[in-house]
């Protein structure tokens, strides 16, 4: 499968490194539900700290790279393109966190993971991406694995129609974020993209946090540790790795690999929160991995 809108696929070693970065990025973001659940502040405030605190390592790394950070934006349209992914990401986070308060966690997670479907459809319709039958089979299998992981089709029975709709909108926003980052990687360095998109995400989500949350600041050192972990590990680590990978891998496949997130979240919940992993979760995780491997061959 190829993606006309993404950067040109380069050498095999670069592809292998990009795939490793993509998997590590997906694993890092997979830990975000744990940090969100353990956070002392509400979901919107947690989302704000996720991007605001992530600016610390991103800015530091940007200063270290200096002139090696690649081309700078020159026109007003360049700045707009660099800001756009952050605005989309902020809307994605806001919609997903809001959906969690309106529908079941299972529904919110399952529907938010429709992002690879939207990436594939948008890429095919608007960017002339070539989608093979094998990739579609892998995509369907991976999505089925996520459904199994979350308890099977019966998990959808406890949701709310409006909340389910908002979770689906969150998936659409995340698809837009992946596609926007993928197109930018053909022109700008990873760290420059992450600096602008993370800053714009923080600016966008801050008024939402003020409007929806009674408490913005964590009250204890433990609370600050959770939001710092979310910012440094899941965003600064995970999103930077994904942005790097999108220079070498098609956006549709990259979004599909991110279905590893619920698998990682289940494993971390088992380790850190003593949430049992039953046969259903184990089978679901295996099916997700099988689907990704099949899609990779497509």
DSSP letters along 185-218, please? TTTS-HHHHHHHHHHHHHHHHHHHHHHH-S--S-
Nearest to 239 by CA among 60, 82, 89: 89
Q: How many domains does the chain have?
A: 1
Evaluate if residue 8 carries a pLDDT over 50.
Answer: no
pLDDT score of 2: 40
Mean pLDDT for the chain? 82
pLDDT score of 87: 96
CA distance 265 to 286: 14
Range with the poorest average pLDDT among 4-13, 159-168, 272-281? 4-13
Q: What Cα–Cα distance (Å) separates residue 124 from each residue in 127, 129, 251?
A: 6, 5, 11
Residue 276 lies in a domain: no
Residue 93 lies in a domain: yes
Residue 204 lies in a domain: yes
Is 258 within 8 Å of 95 (Cβ atoms)? no
Kindly indicate the confidence band of residue 98, based on its pLDDT and cuts at 50, 70 and 90: confident
pLDDT score of 130: 78
Kindly indicate the confidence band of residue 194, based on its pLDDT and cuts at 50, 70 and 90: very high
Evaluate if residue 199 carries a pLDDT over 60.
Answer: yes
pLDDT score of 173: 94
Q: What Cα–Cα distance (Å) separates residue 134 from each residue in 139, 222, 297?
A: 9, 46, 7
Evaluate if residue 113 carries a pLDDT over 80.
Answer: no
pLDDT score of 210: 93
Q: State the pTM of this model.
A: 0.78
pLDDT score of 5: 38
Kindly indicate the confidence band of residue 1, based on its pLDDT and cuts at 50, 70 and 90: very low
Residue 178 lies in a domain: yes
Q: Which domain does 67 fall in, by range? A: 15-131+159-249
- Looking at mean pLDDT, say which of 11-15, 69-73, 135-139 comes out highest: 135-139
pLDDT score of 159: 61
- pLDDT higher for 110 or 207? 207
Evaluate if residue 3 carries a pLDDT over 70.
Answer: no
Percentage of residues in the chain having pLDDT higher than 70: 90
Nearest to 31 by CA among 195, 237, 220, 174: 237
Range with the poorest average pLDDT among 10-19, 130-139, 143-152, 274-283? 10-19
Residue 255 lies in a domain: no
Evaluate if residue 145 carries a pLDDT over 60.
Answer: yes
Kindly indicate the confidence band of residue 105, based on its pLDDT and cuts at 50, 70 and 90: low
Evaluate if residue 298 carries a pLDDT over 90.
Answer: no
Evaluate if residue 151 carries a pLDDT over 60.
Answer: yes
Residue 286 lies in a domain: no
- In whole angstroms, what separates CA 35 from the centre of its chain? 15
Residues 68-87, mean pLDDT to the nearest whole number: 89
Residue 240 lies in a domain: yes
């Amino acid at each position: 499968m190829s993606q006309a809108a993404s950067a040109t696929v380069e050498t095999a070693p670069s592809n292998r490194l990009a795939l490793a970065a993509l998997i590590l990025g997906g694993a890092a973001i997979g830990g975000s539900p744990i940090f969100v659940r353990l956070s002392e502040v509400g979901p919107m405030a947690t989302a704000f700290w996720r991007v605001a605190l992530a600016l610390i390592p991103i800015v530091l790394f940007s200063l270290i790279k200096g002139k090696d950070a690649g081309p700078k934006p020159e026109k007003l349209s360049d700045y707009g393109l660099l800001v756009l992914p952050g605005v989309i990401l902020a809307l994605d986070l806001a919609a997903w966190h809001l959906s969690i308060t309106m529908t079941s966690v299972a529904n919110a997670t399952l529907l938010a993971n429709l992002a690879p479907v939207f990436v594939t459809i948008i890429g095919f319709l608007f960017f002339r991406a070539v989608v093979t039958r094998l990739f579609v089979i892998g995509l369907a299998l991976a999505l089925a694995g996520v459904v199994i992981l979350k308890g099977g089709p019966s998990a959808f029975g406890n949701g709310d129609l409006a909340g389910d709709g908002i979770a689906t909108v969150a998936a659409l926003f995340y698809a837009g974020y992946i596609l926007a980052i993928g197109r930018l990687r053909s022109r700008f360095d990873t760290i420059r993209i992450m600096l602008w998109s993370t800053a714009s995400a923080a600016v966008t989500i801050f008024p939402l946090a003020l409007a929806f949350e009674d408490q913005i600041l964590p009250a204890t050192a433990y609370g600050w540790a959770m939001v710092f972990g979310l910012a440094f590990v899941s965003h600064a680590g995970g999103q930077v790795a994904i942005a790097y990978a999108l220079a070498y891998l098609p956006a549709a496949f990259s979004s599909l690999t991110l279905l590893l997130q619920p698998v990682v979240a289940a494993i971390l919940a088992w380790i850190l929160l003593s949430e049992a992993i039953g046969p259903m979760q184990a089978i679901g995780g295996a099916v997700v991995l099988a689907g990704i491997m099949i899609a990779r061959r497509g």
